Amino acid sequence: TLNEALRRMDSSEIGWRGELKNTYYPYSGSSTVYFTVQEQACLERYREEGVVLTVMSVPDNPPYSWYEKDENGQIYALGVRNIFFQQVAEMLGLKYEYVVPHSYDEYVELLRSGEVDIILDQPRNFSRMEGYGYLQTPGYDTLSVARVYTKSLDSKVGVIGCLRNMPYLVDRLLENEQDQQVVTFDTLEEASTALKNGLVDYVYCLEHTAKTMINQDERVQLRYATIGSTEFEFCISISNRLDREIVSAMSTLVSHSGARIIQEIYDDNINFGVNQTPGLTAALYNDPIPVVAIGAVIVIIVFFSLLCAVYFSRRERETVLRTELENNALLKAMYAAMPFGLL
């Protein structure tokens, strides 16, 4: 199959995807994206008709995607992949609304139904996504897979673990590790506990997740290593019910500006990958206070502090002089003879 051929190429020649993309889709450095006449007409029609696209991402997968509700009941889509799509949609002038799954099982059910217009966080897999009724853009984010293990347990039980919210990784493990049993875990804590207790030989996860597990390992039992030949290139999956011009326009934009946009998002979130939880990282996706504004506040505080110091110093000098004048008749006579304001 096509997927099997691509997998073999990934194993034998690491980095061929990047070389191919740089050959045929080089970044020109220009900020202008050029669309065909048909794509421009289709985008304009969607704007005029007020078409609202439905969008979905994994519900609890920080820092990549999750949902939060404010005190008014308004739901916000947060995370790297949601921010990426929101910027893409704004550049295309498309309206959208989120379909919010309440669980990962509901997310998978909606994905397989093909009812949602756009899925944000599925890795490149042409056959699988076409079976669900979706076409995929070029990849906008590539993530490495890591293998987490313990340094103290040498015995092997023939079982490997994986987090449940990454079915694409489970599928890859089932393909490559046919002689071992694959089990899934709902949380990082469950995976880490099973690993430390010797219930699994390894836990496979994304590199960022591996770093989180290591950071949470108080007794320093865990280690991890990346698997360079196993990477996932994430794409925007677009329903084939939509006009093909929408698919091609979004693909053009992702090819041209996707790498720049995703890198800017990562750069803006400097704490990415460090013990991420929705409650702790929601603030990362708010607009940061500009450095210039902070500097201006500091300058104003220092200025008024100096004014106050000068004012109280002068008052103290005047008080000392008046006391001396009252106690010394000669100074009092000299002060009376001086022009006003010299002291």
Cβ distance 203 to 195 under 8 Å? yes
At 276 the pLDDT is: 35
At 265, which amino acid appears?
A: I
Highest mean pLDDT among 106-110, 222-226, 295-299, 310-314: 106-110
Contacts of 271 (CB under 8 A, 6+ apart): 281, 284
pLDDT one-digit tens code per residue, 191-204: 888 888 888 888 88
pLDDT one-digit tens code per residue, 57-93: 988 777 788 898 888 888 889 989 999 999 999 999 9
Mean pLDDT throughout 3-8? 68
Higher pLDDT, 315 or 163: 163
Q: Has residue 33 got a pLDDT over 50?
A: yes
Share of residues in the chain with pLDDT > 90 (%):
26
Tokens of 20: 């191919």
**CA dist 98 → 71, 118, 167 (Å):** 19, 9, 22
Higher pLDDT, 200 or 144: 200
Share of residues in the chain with pLDDT > 70 (%):
64
Of 202, 210, 209, 207, the C-alpha closest to 173 is 202
Query: What is the number of residues in the chain?
Result: 343
At 177 the pLDDT is: 65
Mean pLDDT of the chain: 76
Kindly calculate the radius of gyration of the chain based on its CA atoms and give it in whole angstroms: 31
Q: What is the pTM of this model?
A: 0.63
Q: Has residue 113 got a pLDDT over 90?
A: yes
At 121 the pLDDT is: 87
Q: Has residue 122 got a pLDDT over 50?
A: yes
Contacts of 258 (CB under 8 A, 6+ apart): 84, 88, 137, 138, 139, 140
Highest mean pLDDT among 47-56, 160-169, 194-203, 257-266: 47-56
At 94 the pLDDT is: 96
At 323 the pLDDT is: 62
At 92 the pLDDT is: 95
